[in-house]
Amino acid sequence: MGIVENKLADFEMSDGANWTIELNRSGQIHIHIDNLKIQLSQEEFSEIVDTVAKADSELRELKKLEHE
């Protein structure tokens, strides 16, 4: 278990799942989804963020949705 340097995000999804994203002192990113923890390097986290952003853009284009 790492020492949390910064809490980057803390929110609840529509299904009630609680999400927390933390930057630990070691430089690792932890994503907590209820009792599940995903441990990532900063590079892995950035890759996921970029991939999700691209998928969001493609979905919005396919469904003709506006960006919020």
pLDDT tens string, the chain, 68 residues long: the values are 679 999 999 999 999 999 999 999 999 999 999 999 999 999 999 999 999 999 999 999 999 887 66
Q: Which of 17, 15, 44 is nearest to 30 (CA)?
A: 44
Return the domain boundaries, the chain.
4-62
Q: Order of strands, edge to edge, in the sheet holding 18-24?
A: 4-12, 18-24, 29-33, 36-40
Provide the pLDDT for residue 2. 76
Q: Which of 29, 49, 25 is nearest to 41 (CA)?
A: 29
Radius of gyration of the chain (CA): 14
